[in-house]
Amino acid sequence: MNHPLELEQSLRRTLMSARLEALDLPGLPEIRLWLLNPDYPRTPMSPEEMQAIWQEPAYWIFCWASGLAMARWILDHPETVRGKRVLDFGAGSGVVGVAAAMAGAAEVIACDIDPLALSACQANAALNGVSFTLLDDFFALAEPVDVLLAADVLYDLSNRFFLDEFLARARQVLVADSRVKNFDHPAYEPRGEISATTWPDLDEFDEFRTVRFYASR
């Protein structure tokens, strides 16, 4: 288990005293991830630090509740991805992709616009003994995939149009989300919900701990 030192150094450009630790995940004992040290101080940040974080948000240092719930769902329903070409859109730490690879996907493409997230995906794939193809531009995908998985990517309103783009590039789409209150798209239907907590724990409101699933019809 090689510590991803370069990745940690890049993270320290924005969070100066942050460390990456290989953490166990609640309710997901099969997977470990390089994430922010849970004892990272929660004191108020300086304006400079806040600005740096807004400019370069390191989503990949958390395993978001939706990613955790979706990884759990994939490991409990391996037939969803077994033998298939799978894309993890907005992969972040790569937790969903790791679960898909463990569940027997033929290929897992980890897609994220953040180059550091793609490095984190690589480190987390290695930590869990799986491998990914990395993709930094969703629109550069050469061929449609069998299954597209997207966890916690609708937090930004400007990302909503992707729901249609997913359908054009995947035979089957599964979305997990804990933030959108009125998910309403005619081509997607609800597929249940799971309780999960973003890790390390951000002490989010209870409303963000219920992850809802939506599948393409």
Instruction: Please choose, from the candidates 78, 63, 65, the residue with its C-alpha nearest in 3D space to the C-alpha of residue 24.
Output: 63
The answer to whether residue 96 forms part of the interface with ligand SAM (CB under 6 A) is: yes
Q: Residue 10 in 3-state DSSP?
A: helix
The amino acid present at 6, given as its one-letter code, is E
Going through the chain in order, the beta strands assigned E by DSSP cover 20-24, 32-36, 85-89, 107-111, 133-135, 145-151, 170-177, 188-195, 210-216
Cβ neighbourhood burial of 147 (10 Å; 0-12, 13-18, 19+): buried
Answer for which of 7, 25, 63, 196 binds ligand SAM (CB under 6 A) is 63
- According to the binding rule CB under 6 A, does residue 25 interact with ligand SAM? no
Stretch that binds ligand SAM, among 45-53, 64-72, 75-83, 124-132 (CB under 6 A): 64-72
Binding-site size for ligand SAM (CB under 6 A) equals 24
Phi and psi angles of residue 132, each rounded to the nearest 5 degrees, phi first: -125, 155
Is 60 among the residues that bind ligand SAM (CB under 6 A)? yes
Per-residue interface string for the shown chain with ligand SAM, residues 109-148, x marking contact by CB under 6 A:
--xxxx--x--------------------x----------
**Binding stretches for ligand SAM (CB under 6 A):** 59-60, 63-64, 66-67, 89-93, 95-96, 111-114, 117, 138, 151-153, 155, 159
